């Protein structure tokens, strides 16, 4: 099965948003053995959308279209599909009923008239009613050629229809399977990963080895293609072991878990709890630790303390520390971690303080970071220098702190301060 992705939306061409749907679709289609040979982006223009669909249908078996299904006048994908198929539009009573019920459930007395546009579909197409949002998906065959699948551009609505309806349909048609395993590592650079895995990576065809770096994390993606998913999985297993053996304990998952998911899993397994003290990170670590469902079993909370006074009043950081080494210091990080553990009654206290920039903070230059962990038998602090913009400093620090907790929970040696 050959697929093509067509994204509709002038906002994509103007660079107002990134086309993350394309990446998601590419990854998921690869996983079920569907080859994507082309992708297109086209603006909100009827003629150009029709041309893009026609080109895609001429060279692919499955055309996956995202966007242009909203209720406004510049949502033109429905009309473009009708023009391509050479059919008229008709109001679908099931969709109209669904829309009116959806708006009632949202607490509206009346549905805005515009939304009825979403009940008008090209004659003879199949529709997919959404669980989220109000835009139905569309499925149509072009003659006896390509099948066109149209889904909303809103990522969560797109994902729902792809996972619920379209990917299973395509998987049933595709031959073979592509399976990926993703290992993730923290506290190691991409070039060091590349060096350690050079011979596995160079010229790799099946399985393939690829790297992807982001702030404080390198993903290693191993991908195999075989007759069945089980066979592809068997091809990958020894390679996963080899990569893990070479990289060592910087690998925090072989199952593509996020670092916070790993920390929460380790906490749950050992029936322990964590609380944070955040200055530098402003609540971002709490937001990450509270993100996964079931987090409340292990995450007790976080004291976001953004001024010296509240560090003292809420967490008990000493006036001597504030007056002496200051808020960006090893002493302050240690007292914050101890305070969070005490105030929240948690087994682990994890603290973050630093100068995110662009200005120095309490005498410390931008990029100066202290993280600290306090637990039963351990009190550990680590200083870092993180170059870059404010958001990079914050993200890198989150990773370093969560990885410190992960290493503690796995009984691994804890990293020392950077020189």
Q: How far apart are the first and last CA of the chain?
A: 54
Q: How far is the CB of 411 from a second copy (least distance, A)?
A: 26
| Strand ranges in 316-411 using DSSP code E only, listed in sequence order | 348-354, 368-375, 378-385
Q: How far apart are CA 149 and CA 1, in angstroms?
A: 14
Nearer to a second copy among residue 293 and residue 413 (C-beta): 293
3-state secondary structure of 372: strand
* C-alpha to C-alpha distance for 37 and 219, rounded to whole angstroms: 24
Contacts of 347 (CB under 8 A, 6+ apart): 272, 273, 274, 341, 375, 376
Cβ atoms of residues 369 and 385 within 8 Å: yes
E-assigned strand segments in 129-168: 137-141, 147-151
To a second copy, the closest distance from the beta carbon of 243 in angstroms equals: 15
Q: Which is nearer to a second copy, 6 or 331 (CB)?
A: 6
Nearer to a second copy, 376 or 418 (CB): 418
- For a second copy, give the closer residue by CB, 202 or 323: 202
The encoded tokens of residue 185 equal 């590592």
In the complex, least distance from residue 402 CB atom to a second copy, rounded to whole angstroms: 13
Smallest separation, CB 114 to a second copy (Å): 5
Between vectors from CA 176 to CA 170 and to CA 181, what angle results, nearest 5°? 95
* Cα separation, 101 vs 244, whole angstroms: 52
**Shortest spacing between CB 73 and a second copy, in angstroms:** 5
Question: Following CA atoms 331, 337, 323, 417 in sequence, which dihedral angle do they give, to the nearest 10 degrees?
Answer: 30
CB of 221 to a second copy, least distance (A): 6
Q: In terms of CB distance, is 380 or 395 closer to a second copy?
A: 395
| Least gap, CB of 218 to a second copy (angstroms) | 11
Residue closer to a second copy by CB (options 55, 89) is 55
Task: Report whether 371 contacts 381 (CB < 8 A).
Answer: yes
154 versus 348: smaller Cβ distance to a second copy: 154
């Amino acid at each position: 099965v050959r697929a093509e992705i067509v994204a509709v939306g002038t906002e994509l061409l103007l660079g107002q948003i990134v086309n993350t749907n394309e990446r998601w679709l590419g990854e998921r289609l690869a996983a079920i053995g569907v080859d994507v040979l082309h992708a297109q982006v086209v603006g909100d223009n009827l003629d150009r959308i029709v041309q893009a669909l026609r080109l895609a249908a001429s060279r692919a078996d499955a055309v996956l279209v995202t966007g242009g299904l909203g209720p406004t006048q510049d949502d033109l994908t429905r009309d473009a599909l009708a023009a391509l198929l050479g059919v008229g539009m008709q109001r679908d009573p099931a969709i109209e009923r669904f829309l009116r019920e959806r708006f009632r459930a949202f607490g509206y007395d009346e549905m805005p008239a515009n939304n009825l546009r979403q009940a008008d579909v090209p004659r003879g197409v199949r529709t997919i009613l959404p669980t989220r949002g109000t835009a139905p998906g569309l499925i149509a065959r072009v003659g006896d050629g390509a099948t066109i699948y149209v889904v909303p551009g809103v990522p969560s609505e797109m994902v729902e229809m792809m996972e619920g309806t379209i990917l299973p349909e395509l998987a049933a048609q595709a031959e073979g399977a592509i399976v990926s395993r993703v290992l993730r590592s923290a506290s190691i650079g991409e070039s060091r990963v590349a060096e350690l895995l050079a011979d596995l990576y160079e010229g790799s065809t099946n399985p393939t080895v690829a790297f992807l770096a982001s702030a404080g994390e390198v993903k290693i993606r191993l991908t195999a293609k075989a007759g069945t998913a089980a066979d592809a999985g068997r091809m990958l297993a020894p390679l996963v072991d080899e990569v893990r053996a070479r990289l060592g304990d910087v690998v925090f998952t072989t199952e593509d878990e996020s670092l916070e998911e790993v920390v929460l899993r380790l906490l749950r397994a050992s029936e322990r709890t964590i609380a944070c003290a955040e200055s530098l990170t402003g609540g971002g670590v709490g937001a990450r630790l509270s993100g996964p469902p079931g987090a409340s079993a292990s995450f007790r909370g976080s004291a976001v303390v953004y001024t010296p006074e509240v560090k003292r009043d809420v967490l008990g950081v000493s006036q001597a520390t504030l007056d002496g080494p200051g808020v960006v210091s090893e002493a302050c990080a240690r007292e914050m971690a101890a305070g969070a553990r005490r105030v929240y009654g948690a087994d682990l206290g994890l603290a973050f303080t630093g100068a995110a920039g662009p200005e120095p903070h309490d005498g410390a230059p931008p990029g100066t970071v202290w993280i600290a962990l306090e637990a039963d038998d351990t009190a550990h602090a680590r200083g870092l220098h993180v170059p870059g913009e404010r958001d990079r400093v914050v993200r890198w620090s989150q990773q370093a702190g969560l990885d410190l907790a992960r290493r503690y929970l796995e009984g691994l040696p804890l990293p020392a301060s950077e020189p």
